[in-house]
Structures are given as C-alpha cells and as structure tokens.
Structure 1
Amino acid sequence: MISLLRIIPLFQVLTHVATKDKPKDTYVGIEGSTLEINCEYADGYQDYIKYFCRNLCKYDDILIKSESSNTVVSEGRYTGLDNVSQQKFTVTIRNLVLEDSGEYYCGVERSGWDLQDKVKLFISGVSTYVAGSKRSKDTYAGTKGSTLEIYCDYPEGYQDYVKYFCRDPCADDDILIKSDNSISKRRYTLLDNVSNRNFIITIKNLIVEDFGVYHCGVEKSGTDILTEVKLFISGVNMNNKLDDSYLGVEGGPLKIYCEYADGYQDYIKYFCRDPCKNDDILIKSESSNTLVSKGRYTGLDNVSQQKFTVTISNLILEDSGDYNCGVERTGMDLQNKVKLFISGNPFHFHTTTHPPASTKQSRTTSSTSAPRTSETSSLFCVRV
C-alpha cells in the first residue's frame, strides 16, 4: 500500500540553554528549521490573552496572540497554542532565519501592566558555530549532511603545543584528529591559527551519531588542557530531504510531526508503536484543533496545516524503536513508519577530572583563560 502520509522533515535537535541565574530564557535554533518556545504562566491566568512579541513589544511588535484556550492560532511563520492544563503558551517559529536572533517577550494581557518574561533567541547558520551577540564557545548546532566548524580557544603561551580534538571521555582511542600527525583525517580537519590563539576543527558530512560531548585539547606536561564542547545535530540535510527518524534525549520531550494528504482532515489520526495492534495505540485524535492527552503523550490535529503533532514527555531509553503515524479509514489504514532513537542525556555535568590514559599523559578539564584541574559546567537541556 502506498502511504499518503508523510513525515515533516523536522528531525531536529533544538537546544534550550539553562543557567543558574536565568533558567528557561535562552533558546538556540538552526537556520531553516523550526523552534518551539514555551511561555509558562502562573495559576489564575488561564483565561487571559497571551502573546509573543519582539523588541519594545509595541502593537506592531506582537508576532502571535492567543484567541482561546487549547486552540491553535497562526500568523505567518508563527503559531501559538495556549495549553491551559499545563499553564503554558507555546509559540512555534518555522523557517528560522539568522535575523530571528534577538530579544523577545512572552506576555500576558491584564489590566494595568502586562506580565512579561524576556526570552533570548540565538539562530545558528547550518555550517557555523552557534552565535549571537557573543559567541557561544562550547555549544554547537549542526545539520545532518552539512559541515560544522568548531573554534577551540587556548591561552597565551600555548601556540607551539600540540592540539587535538577528542570525544568524551578522551582516552587515546577517542582522539579524532591531532595536530602533530595530520591536519586532515577522514571527516575531520584541524587548523591551528596561532595569531588568534585558536584551532579550528571542521567536521564534514555530519551524521546524527555526531551528537554528544567532545573536548578541545592542548597537550602539555602533567595534565592536558581540555575544554568541553557539546554538539547537537539536526536531521534535515542540505537538500531538505524527508527523514523519518527522530532523535530524543532521555528525560526530555520529543515532538513528532505527521503530515497527511488533503481530504483526510476529518479522519481520526493516531500514533502507535509497531506492530500497531489495538494495545499499541499511544494517542488518538478526537476532533480537529483540540489537544488530547494520555499519559506521557499529547496529540493535536491541526487541520489547516494538515498534520497530527504528537509530543512525548519524559523520554526513556526504552522509547527507542519503530512507530507509525496512522489515519483511520475504511479498509486499510494509512500508516507511515517513524523511528525513534533515544540517547542517554550527556548534559547533566558535574565537576570531574579525567583519569590518566594508559599510554599518554593524563588530561584534565580546564577553561581556556588559564590552566586548572577541573571545571563545573552549566546544565544544558535538549528540546526536540
């Protein structure tokens, strides 16, 4: 059976950067992809109008505004959904451009002064490091199939030392490229720019498995200098081909977009785990533009966009596997297979010192301003 159902090319990993001082206010997206912003509000404001705005938030700066609870609203590249049961107004921005980087506000209309929370967006080009007004030195977003450059800074005085790039935990077998033996090795190249005191790692033909934790290293007597780097890889390749595989991170949410053909707007949609018998159905639509929930699953059938959106919360490793997006109809249902890959969350860091490698000097994590024995990293979460 030829399926009329297809999957939106959104196998994307979107980062939500959280720090001690300002949690939940900084988002990183990839040029050309989609970014979701969750605007939470306090109990008692469920029936108030919510909005999302840029700059000074004057009337012309409002990008999207809610109309009624649990109803999708759309305006250009923006959609909004006020989920009153979860007390959050979710804004989705499609087809991200670099100019989307900047400051925004989540707002709640009320008498007197509106309630507003500042949100910062940083949009990365598909083949460059994540950048905003200040460069983010340790978090990079790349696109499957493209090329990514990673900038590794080092302190004054280390210009003549050997540099390398390795995957955590950086034992000998984890070293991907090193300046003393090659400037090019398989998909990796290394260029040491001594005048700028940084070396540039270029990774070609990115794959989903490149997602993870790495280190920029400077080899020296005693303990090496290691600077931690996190890579997030989006599954949309440079040719915008469809991809039916999604990558999630343990503990986080994952959003799956199932697009269906014209004419099926009034049919029931569902999401099930293979082989999709009755007990395998995880969530099913009830009516158009209405949010339905069941355990860790929520579903929304947006008939204007002809897609059934499934969100899985609190991902576990066992969620990895084969699923199907389905449309109920007389005879055989329409189904399209979806693969989920759930990664253990590598971004809950604590202070650590790497043990010595068996055949080379021991290495320890350090910032690039001055050598030291360890570094505590901020918490990074992935929103996909």
Structure 2
Amino acid sequence: MTFRKSNCGCDIFSIFLVRFLFLQSKAKMGILQNLLFTICITLRCVTSAVGLIHVTGYVGREVNVSCSYDEGYEPYKKYLCKNDCGSNNDVLITTSNPVKNKYRIHDDKTARIFTTTISDLHSVDAGKYWCGVTRFGKDIYTEVKVKLVQDSCCDTVTKIESHEGYSESIVCPYESRNQSNLKYICRGNRPSTCLQQALITSDNRENGRYRLDDDKVLGTFTVNISSLTQNDSGSYLCGVQRNSELDVFSAVELKVKEWCCVKSTKVTGTAGHPLTLQCPYPSQNQNNRKFLCKGDHRNSCRDMVMSESRLALREDIYSSSFSVTFTKIQADDAGIYWCGSDSQWRVGNHVKIQLSVVSPRHTSTVPSTMEIPGKTTTHKKTTTQNRPNKDAGQYVVYAVPAVLLLLICALVVTVYQCKHQKVKDGKAVMNRNAENEEGLEEVTAGTENNIYGNEEVVRYKQQSACYNYDDAGEDEPDYENFTTSEEVYCNENFHRR
C-alpha cells in the first residue's frame, strides 16, 4: 500500500504511541518528550527521502533515473511517482507492470538498483520525481529532480582547416576533476548519441585512422585523424563522460580542402615517339629530390624514374624546373602523373599531369591508271589516314582522271587553234607572193627593150618579195611554189651587190 508523502516524517502509528505514553504518566513529561523526539527522528530517517538525485536529459530523447535500495528489499515492489505520490495517478510505473506508455522500469536485484527510463522527453517532463520502495508502514522514497536541455552543442566552435591526404589533430580540453573519466570523440552535434556513435574512446586509443592521446598534466586529450579526405569535413564533438550529470562537450568544425598543386595540365603523346614532361618547382626545393610518379591518387602512385629505364630526368636550376623524357612512349603510359620535389607532399609543391596517348598516323599511296589516246598515264595519290578507307582506291581512280581529262581537252583545243592560225598565215603569204608576181610580169613587159632601164624598180620588187618570205617566217618548203623569175631576180640582186 502506498502512503501519502508527509513532510514531518512521522506516521499515525507514531502518534498513537506517543499519546499512549503521555496518558500513562504526566509526571514523566520530560522523559516522554525526549522519547517522542527520538522516535520521530528515527522514523523520519527510515521513511523519508534518503538523498537527492539530479538527472538531466535532452528534449526529444530519453533519460534514465536510477535509484538504489538497501539489502533485504530485493523482493519488494519498486515504483516511480511524481508530485507528492498521494494518489494512484501520481504513480507512473511499477516493477509489477514494467512497461507503461513511455516509461520502462528494470530492477537489478544483484546490484540493488532499479532504473526507470523516460523516453520522448518534452518540457512538461521536467520537475520533481520520487523513487519508491514499498514496505509495511511508510514506503522508502528517494527524491529525483529532472532537468531538460536542447540536444545540441555548443555556443563556441573551434574551426580547423586542412587538406586531402594530410593528418590533422583535434585538441579537446577538460577539467581536472574529470581527469580519470572516459574521453571520446564523435561526428555531428548531437550530445545525446555521441557516446554510442563514438569514433574512438580513451579505452581503445587506436581505431583505424584515429588515435587518441590523453595528457592529464595539461588537461587535454588529442585525437589525430590521418589520410584526410573531403568526406572528413564536418562537425565533431569532444566528450567527457560524467556519471551523475550530462557529459561535457566541446565542438569542432573541420574543413578538408582539395589537395592542390602548382598547376594541373593535360598532355597528348603519340605512341612510338618521344615525349617530354615539364615540371616546375618552388625555388626553396632546389636541393630536394625530384621525381615523377604515376597513379590516380598521389598517396598510391608509383615512382616512374626509379622503375623505368626509358625515362630520363634533367634539371634546370636556373628556371626552377626539371623535365622527364620518354624515349618512346607506349599506349599503356596514358594516365595520371605527379611530378614534384617534396616528399611530404605539401600543398603547392607538385604538378598534376593527365597524359593521353594516341596512335601514330599511317600514310599509303594508291595508284590510279587512266588510258589516253596515244599514251597511258599513271597517277599516284598519297593519302594520310588514321584508319583504312574502303572507298579510297575507288575515289582516286575516278576522281583523278576526270581532272586530267579536262586538262587534256584544253590542250587539244589550244593545239588546234595554233595549227589553224598557221594555215591562215600561210595562205596570206601565198596571196601576197601572187600579187608580187603579177606586178613583176607587168614591169618586165614594159621594159622589154631596156631590161636595166628600170633596174631600181625591179630590184625593189625583188627585195620586197624576198623580205616578205622572211617576215612570214615560213619553212623552206613554202618557197617551192615561187616562180623561176623570182629566184633569178633575187639572185641577180644578190650578185649586183
């Protein structure tokens, strides 16, 4: 049976006992007063609250209220109630009915601790509760105060920037009183689930890429994350566990930038030909070892200069650069290359090269033959192509003769015109010679008695005829049609000189 909680701490049985003693002897009033005080104090220590438990929970989450009890009360019923526990409505849950609404209760009789879980917390769930142990007479109560806070953290955030492939350390401070407590780190900004989702704890100091070191002298623990990627960017919470209160947290915002280099370039080479890659470097790295490695990611690339004998590296200290030459590049040389001068792969000390390899161009000569009246002409056409063309030969055979045919037709027309012009010129000369012959006959007839009387006129005619022949530029057969008199006069003229 549950009794109403009383502030005085004395039950009805105590009152009757005191009254009985009071009636027995008024003379012994002083003794009875002392006895009454002693009984009330004793009963209060047994039946009233034996302590105060502070519990803090997150809104929207759940909280556990754990209460201990003394040996011998293991078989007794336990419960959680609210307000002053004066009615059945104040009793939220009992061990006889361990699940009710959003409450669950579990009694660990070995540890003599019963725990009540309150889920889906809201602001109305904050306040005073009582852990009760049922017994004959007055029940045993333990007072509990529940405080609710928002499930987020924190007002102050430490920001850290790093780059891909690097290692970064997150330093988390804590108070000296929590020196021996559990430390951990998780992603996100929800304190309620941080411990359950911890990336690493001080109980397990190494976990994959994470390592935790606790410096109790400085009051800090450090979490190192190696081989960073851009996926590591985000919010982190450093947590320190506290048994009776909420864990204490500090917030960190990590931003991982893309690893960058001096420049990024694309190069195309031809299979079977030499190729040279140029790699500038910062002047402060002049004395560092220079290298060229191949791989999609710089952390796993293969050093080409050390493993390939067909590569030659030359350095130019005056231009702060070096070059790597392939004596004969191959198709499988295509890929991502990194050339640099810093073995620590610090930002800005390397060059990223994307190399593509193409096949060499092939040349072929396709003959084409075309018959021309009177002769046969063979033409050759040289074509450059990357792949065979089935119609290339047909194209040469039919396209090239068409052009030559046009040229030949033009040549025939030109020759024909020249020949026709010669014939016309020859007829004109013959006509002029005939006219000269007629004139000469007339002069001869008029001077039959005095052949030399008009010698100058005859000579003139003769010379004109001869010169006309020369001017016409005719060949010797054209003169076969000249008369004998013309030949005589020409010879006569020649002898008179």
- Scaled to the shorter chain, the TM-score interval is 0.3 to 0.5
Higher RCO (C-alpha under 8 Å, 6+ residues apart): 1
Of structures 1 and 2, the larger Rg is shown by 2
| TM-score normalised by L of structure 2 | 0.26
Which of the two has greater strand per residue?
1
